[in-house]
């Protein structure tokens, strides 16, 4: 199949599982709607919602430190900001994160899992992404398969927590997209940074067990590069299955 957008994900709460969606509206210079809209961190984290700062992931409760977060399942309604969070089949949170009650329920749920006082953080037009810039993250599924073959194991794509999973491309070809513009359904995206992976990829999203995928990636490739970040250059929409157009000379 030609180069195409295989699937779309966003992550309403940083560190918790993502939500797969069939299509998405995108806006110039923005993240995907509701992506990393909320975060849960220590109750004493310094964060002013009126003047939000970029918060490093190391300051929050996230998979790289708290593998048990992968045990949750969730659904999310962007319009109402309603989160349904369950743990091993039992509902833990069923409330709008717009409300103090919803945020308190989520904070309490996470606090019990990580054994530390927790608080939910959010701010208008703010996202708790790894970069301070508003971007989308892209993973080439051929690269995931190539790494899996090199390591002799299966690798769940969800370990990489991308917004856009793409397919129909040569393995590792995305690393040649730096400073180039790709297009998905007429949406132009400037690729400007390679993703340097962290220990979050060591967590199996199904079992919540840790392994050494990060270390094995370095051993196999000589670096921790997997995926790229891109800036959205125009408004529109993207859909799973949309074709990808690359600059001339790139595959």
Query: Could you state, in order of their start, the residue ranges of all structural domains in the chain?
Result: 132-245
User: What is the pLDDT at residue 51?
Assistant: 96
Q: Beta 181-184 vs 225-232: how paired, if at all?
A: unpaired
| Residue 130 clears pLDDT 90, i.e. is over it | yes
pTM over 0.85: yes
User: What is the pLDDT at residue 157?
Assistant: 99
Distance from C-alpha of 119 to C-alpha of 191, rounded to nearest angstrom:
34
Percent of the chain topping pLDDT 90 = 97
Instruction: Report CA Rg, the chain.
Output: 18
| Residue 107 clears pLDDT 70, i.e. is over it | yes
b vs e for 6-40, b when ≥16 Cβ sit within 10 Å of the residue's Cβ? bbbbbbbbbbbbbbebeebebeeebbbebbbbbbb
| Residue 70 clears pLDDT 80, i.e. is over it | yes
- Which fold is adopted by the domain 132-245? M1 Pyruvate Kinase; Domain 3 (2.40.33)
| Residue 221 clears pLDDT 70, i.e. is over it | yes
Q: Residues 202-220: pLDDT tens digits?
A: 999 999 999 999 999 999 9
Q: Residues 6-54: pLDDT tens digits?
A: 999 999 999 999 999 999 999 999 999 999 999 999 999 999 999 999 9
How many residues are listed for the chain in this entry? 251
User: What is the pLDDT at residue 7?
Assistant: 99
| Residue 62 clears pLDDT 90, i.e. is over it | yes
Q: Is 190 exposed, middle or buried (0-12, 13-18, 19+ CB in 10 A)?
A: middle
Confidence of residue 247 (pLDDT cuts 50, 70, 90): confident
| Residue 151 clears pLDDT 70, i.e. is over it | yes
Averaged over 72-94, what is the pLDDT?
Answer: 97
Secondary element (H or E) of residue 82 = strand 82-87
| Residue 250 clears pLDDT 80, i.e. is over it | no
Averaged over 148-162, what is the pLDDT?
Answer: 98
User: What is the pLDDT at residue 251?
Assistant: 64
Q: Is the distance from CB of 243 to CB of 3 less than 8 angstroms?
A: yes
| Residue 248 clears pLDDT 80, i.e. is over it | no
Round the average pLDDT of the chain to a whole number and report it: 97
């Amino acid at each position: 199949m030609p180069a195409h957008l295989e699937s779309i994900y966003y992550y309403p709460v940083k560190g918790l599982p993502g939500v797969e969606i069939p299509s998405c509206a995108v806006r110039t210079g923005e993240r995907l709607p509701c992506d990393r809209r909320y975060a849960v961190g220590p109750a004493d984290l310094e964060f002013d919602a009126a003047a939000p700062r970029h918060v490093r992931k190391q300051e929050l409760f996230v998979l790289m430190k708290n593998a048990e977060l992968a045990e949750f399942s969730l659904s999310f309604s962007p319009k109402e900001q309603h989160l349904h969070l369950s743990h091993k089949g039992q509902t833990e949170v069923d409330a709008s994160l717009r409300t103090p009650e919803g945020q308190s329920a989520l904070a309490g749920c996470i606090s019990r899992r990580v054994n530390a006082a927790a608080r939910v953080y959010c701010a208008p037009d703010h996202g708790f992404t790894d970069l301070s810039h508003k971007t989308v993250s892209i993973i080439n599924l051929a690269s995931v398969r190539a790494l899996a073959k090199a390591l002799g194991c299966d690798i769940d794509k969800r370990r990489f927590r991308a917004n856009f999973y793409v397919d129909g491309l040569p393995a590792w070809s995305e690393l040649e997209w730096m400073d180039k513009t790709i297009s998905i359904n007429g949406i132009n995206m400037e690729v400007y940074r390679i993703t340097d992976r962290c220990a979050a990829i060591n967590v199996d999203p199904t079992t919540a067990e840790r392994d050494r995928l990060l270390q094995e990636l370095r051993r196999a490739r000589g670096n921790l590069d997997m995926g790229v970040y891109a800036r959205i250059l125009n408004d529109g929409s993207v859909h799973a299955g949309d074709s990808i157009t690359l600059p001339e000379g790139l595959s």
